[in-house]
Chains A and B, each alone.
Chain A
Amino acid sequence: MLRDTLKTLLSAYGPSGNEHAVAEAVKGLIAAHVDSMRVDALGNLIVEKFGTDEHGKRIMFSAHMDHIGYVVTNIEENGFLRVNNVGGISLNLSTARHVIFENGVEGVLYCEPAKGEEKAMRHLFIDIGAESKEDAEQVVQLGDMAVYAPDYIELGDHRVASPAMDDRCCCALLCELLMYLDEPRNTVVGVFSSQEEVGVRGAKVAAYSVNPDIGVGLDVTAWGDTPEVKLPAVELGKGAAVKFIDRSMIASPAVRDALLKAAEDAGVPAQREVLPFGGQDGSAIQHTRAGVPAGCLSIPCRYVHSPVETIDMRDMEGALKILLKFVENA
């Protein structure tokens, strides 16, 4: 079930600022399980499942719909597209890639030969098979965004690799949470946020309008279990990771400890995540208005910001149990 939800969401197109296809896919999955749904000016999908206790808390979970991509900045006379990065794109991973636009136009991304210059985004181009500028402009306009073409690669019994794993795996997790919650005492607000990859922008306005009592960001985190990679001390298959700190936030101790306790109560493993870089939606919740206690539950993910972001489904299943218990305990 979790795997099917994930598969559905991984196939949706959604670079930062253009997340509506993901929002539509999410709506289709959860419409029957929530009490309200709305999309705000930034493209955040905000859904609520009302609590049974009118004095219950308002708990916001935020998982971002967008992923990294390339924006078309020039269409050249010969029909090639020049691009710039949207979010944290690695130049080293930007050659010989299959990419796709919202309207389904496919392209291959390549890099011109270096002429003694340091490689930069301006050397990249997308070939969509057009033979002239006019030809290209029939199907692509300036400002259109391309993403790594969707993929779904099963590795062994438990692992899945895909370009959009960051953060569709947590969108899937949040969908499942909303489906499984049965008459919760506390109100649960699910935010499927926009524009995280360009600086936690969607969650900032969502947190303001939701005005929660508690916030939890749901995101992937980096890994320390492949050759020559040791930090952070997080491994795939050892359970979801409770964040202590990253560049954007120091988790509120109460929320952090409540997540650890929820894991214990649910009888599933959890890892302690201390990340010396990175940021996620939890920070936007923590820093909105006069401040909100907030934390983050992470899914360990290898090769983040590449076309083969890899997670372990056992960590997803554990995370779902942790979140259900967390809502119950709050």
Chain B
Amino acid sequence: MDLKTLCGIHAPSGDEKRLRRAILEEARKLCGEENVRIDRMGNVLCHKKGTEVGRPHVCVSAHMDEVGFIILSATDDGLLQFRPIGSIDPRVVVSKRVLVGEDLLPGVIGALAIHLQTREDRERVLGYDNLYIDIGAKDKDEALGKCPPGTYAYFDTPYTPFGDGFVCAKALDDRVGCYNLLQLMQSGYPGDVTFCFVTQEEVGLRGSIGAAFTVRPDVCINLEGTAANDLGDVERRDEVCCAGQGVAVSFMDRSSVYQRKLFKKLLALADAGDIPHQVKRGVTGSNDAANYQRAAGGALACTLSVPCRYIHSGASVCCLDDIDAQYRLTRAFLLNA
């Protein structure tokens, strides 16, 4: 399945069913129906038996969910009140086109026109209490009739290749990881590998808790999209990582200190395989590796990320070569684990 298709499927946390369906179909073809299962959190776990005994059991994981919105209620004049699912800066949502509910009703996140704003209005950041989705409904009844509380809304952003090998799309975090999992599943490996497509990462690493206890791997390689801060006059010490400079290997972030020997091994494999890579130069962000590292009796873990600019917005940007580098480094690890 190509990245464009994966990014085009709407799957905010807790509403991953469309993506799960698509992945399931592909996974069954690649791993065999009997080796693919869905657990109670909606995670898709796909097992591939290794060709050799005595190798560690490796889990490669990516999260299916993306950030999005959920409808709370509507105002008397028919504007939908909503909240973000996952962390989304309210400054990036104003004037964005969204799609609401199963029927993908077109909507727009509205704000007061600049003509009507006072100087104070212009300096104030609107919070979610003051933002609305306009679906063209005439009143509250019509709005809630079409979009009752609990309805999800999605960023409506087309997948757009641009520049020299870059792409602009929604949900790159973490469809890049899902894409690479599907690519990696196309071949076999010396050791047992479980490929995990997990739910609800963006609301607090929730899906992977159960997956980690079920899989109990010896090693986890977590595939992510991470924040690149490499534009404008940002000082080098604040960049974290740079789009176009290879897969980012993490030594630590807010949720894990990765085991040194695995981190070093991944860097050595990247060097040996001439795979473009960079060490992530920051400790921001949390991800599912935490749960795999610390479920049951514990496992080795590391996170390999594709640097994404403007992450957690309706339009993020990444470099296709970095996605390929994430694939190559993970594959090199699976062949040498």
Contact = CB atoms under 8 A, between A and B. Distances in A.
B296 A143 contact: no
A18 interface: yes
Interface string B257-295: 111100100000000000000010111000000000111
Contact of A42 (B236, B238, B282, B294): B294
Query: Which has the most chain B C-beta neighbours within 10 Å: A17, A44, A143?
Result: A143
A44 B297 CA distance: 11
Q: Interface SS of chain B: helix, strand, loop or mixed?
A: loop
Given A71-B251, A73-B283, A40 B259 contact: no
A94 interface: no
B237 A41 contact: no
A209 B296 contact: yes
A41 B252 contact: no
Contacts of B298: 40-42, 44, 205-206, 208-209
Contacts of B218: 41
Most buried by B among A40, A74, A76: A74
B299 interface: yes
B251 A76 contact: no
Contacts of A201: 256-257, 293-294
B252 A142 contact: no
Contact of A76 (B236, B258, B260): B236
A195 B238 contact: no
Interface residues of B, number: 24
Contact of A74 (B256, B260, B281): B281
A205 B257 CA distance: 14
B46 interface: no
B294 A198 contact: no
B36 interface: no
Contacts of B263: 143
Contact of A86 (B237, B257, B260, B293): B257
B300 interface: yes
Contacts of B297: 40-41, 205, 208-209
Interface string A115-147: 000000010000000000000000001110000
B36 to A, nearest CB: 27
B252 A86 contact: yes
Given A122-B238, A205-B297, A71 B283 contact: yes
A206 B298 CA distance: 8
A151 B12 CA distance: 52
A195 B263 CA distance: 17
Contacts of B294: 42, 201, 204-205
Given A84-B283, A209-B297, A71 B252 contact: yes
A84 B283 CA distance: 8
Interface string B188-218: 0000000000000000000000000000001
Given A16-B257, A41-B300, A142 B293 contact: no
Q: Which of A73, A142, A208 has the most CB of B within 10 A?
A: A73
Contacts of A86: 252, 257
Contacts of B300: 41
A142 B282 CA distance: 10
Contacts of B293: 41-42, 201
Given A42-B293, A209-B296, A143 B251 contact: yes
Contacts of B252: 17, 71, 86, 143
A8 B237 CA distance: 37
A143 B283 CA distance: 10
A16 B295 CA distance: 18
A93 B274 CA distance: 42
B271 to A, nearest CB: 13
B296 A122 contact: no
A84 B257 contact: no
Contacts of A143: 251-252, 260, 263, 279
Nearest to A102: B260
B205 to A, nearest CB: 13
A43 interface: yes
B259 A74 contact: no
A41 B262 CA distance: 11
A204 B299 CA distance: 12
Contacts of A122: 237-238
A82 interface: yes
Contact of A73 (B256, B257, B258, B281): B281
Contacts of A16: 257
A42 to B, nearest CB: 5
A42 B251 CA distance: 14
A204 B259 CA distance: 16
Nearest to B256: A201
A17 B281 contact: no
Interface in A36-83: 40-44, 71, 73-74, 76, 82
A142 B257 contact: no
A84 B260 contact: no
B259 A43 contact: yes
A72 to B, nearest CB: 9
A214 to B, nearest CB: 20
Contact of B237 (A17, A18, A82): A82
A130 B236 CA distance: 19
Given A74-B237, A74-B281, A143-B279, A18 B296 contact: no
Nearest to B297: A209
B283 A41 contact: no
Given A18-B260, A76-B236, A205-B297, 6 more contacts: A40-B297, A42-B293, A71-B283, A143-B251, A143-B279, A205-B294
Interface of A: 16-18, 40-44, 71, 73-74, 76, 82, 84, 86, 122, 141-143, 195, 198, 201, 204-206, 208-209
16 contacts: A18-B260, A41-B299, A42-B298, A44-B298, A71-B283, A74-B236, A74-B237, A76-B236, A76-B237, A122-B237, A142-B251, A142-B279, A143-B263, A198-B257, A205-B294, A206-B298
